Structure 1
């Protein structure tokens, strides 16, 4: 029951923009380190080259791995504006020399317990925008597929704002498909709620002090009065369905430009334990899949039929979260 009540308090606005995918160009420098291993250059000058962006295609199970193989064989994934891309399978990750801060694909997939979301994963050490990858390749990807990057340098925020995405920030986007256009604008609130609940679940599981991450309407996340995250949802309409691309940015281990989860955790705890991006992303999808099903089956249509209820619930939510 508390899940339904929480979602009711979130789904209170019909503001939403149907945005066309932002065109950007991706650059990732690859250079030989040894004959059998490749290393990723993160030098600023590399961002000015036309080297292909590396996308690693990963899967939770054998069926998702087969999908990854098919995408690679068919050279199906493209970047906006004709940007070059090189695709690799999860089994090839060991051929590349990666830093300790690289996203741990195995850790994420082993922590994932969903039936749909996050099971098909695209990981890249460096991209302009994960959101552009999923929106530009929406029709090629399975519904629920996700893209995550260690660094993105053309991250997108609401109203075409830029989202600063340094190393240590969790940045990922994923695909949804919806039929009822009236409830499409509300999915961003389910994403926001799932992310805050995922952080709380990790705090409880790991014995961390509770971090009071709050949602600021319409799609920002705040901690101790400072912005630490944001949600972006865009959509296109095709074949009588809405193709929705949802993006998440969360400051996990980067104290700039504002603060981050681990900086606040360090102030509250004497241990050296930290939040890990992989744990948060897996916990998010585990929570989102459950909340999204509740939203579709019990909440969305009833809420939209009661405009007065939406207004009253928004007032209740504002009083409880400010």
Structure 2
């Protein structure tokens, strides 16, 4: 028994380690997620009460007091304790839960972020209030704290699901249909978002970084994000810009301020300043840019981008240096 108890305690401790962190529903950083967490604990408590009552009755009458009861008394116990009480408790929990559901359908306070689920990455367009054109980004979302940010969600090919556990609930994304949700971040920090709907071979590799910033910091970041790419400095990066053009990368990718205006793949204008490349897979280092370019389909199976595994080493390093310098 002591060994079994120790194993159970160890398993419980290991399980609890997953209850915190930047992708945990139990470690909230937004008002919507806080409401969902409250609902979870209250409903769990109500269901525990129902479970204890029903199973307690079974234990009492079957093991502790196994005697014969008259039919009317037995019916009252079964109907009252097994049907009426659980129904009342569950109905009360449902009514309460519906009354405090997070207001994720409310309009935002000004900023709107348009997110399109691709295979397997995220197209992100920022629409500040009154803007005539979006500020384009990809695979990363930044939003101000203390404000409700509105999201319009859609998908290009298959169903995806947009979920930032620390900030709120999930919302499905459908091809040909636009859905709306909003989130209210309360705590500055970095959080992890994830596609929560199986969408193909690289579904598990379709993540995104979420950074909640103080409003002034967010405005400063958005101004930098709207600016064109900074021209590369240094011989290697400049050579990389030439390789980028020669290899036709601009047919699929945009680098604002250059001749690259492709719309097929992610916007790369400030790709070196993002927290990751490949939609949450790799840190934006020169070595990882090089690995991504050379082994694209190995790192992310069935991705549309071809692997440039015939590039000479010097050109590959130059191209990776150029991309890492786009900040």
Q: Which TM class, normalised by the smaller chain length?
A: under 0.3
- The structure having more radius of gyration, on CA atoms, is 2
Q: Per chain length, whose mean CA-contact separation is higher, i.e. which structure has more relative contact order (CA < 8 Å, sep 6+)?
A: 1
**TM-score of the aligned structures, taking structure 1 as reference length:** 0.24
**TM-score of the aligned structures, taking structure 2 as reference length:** 0.24
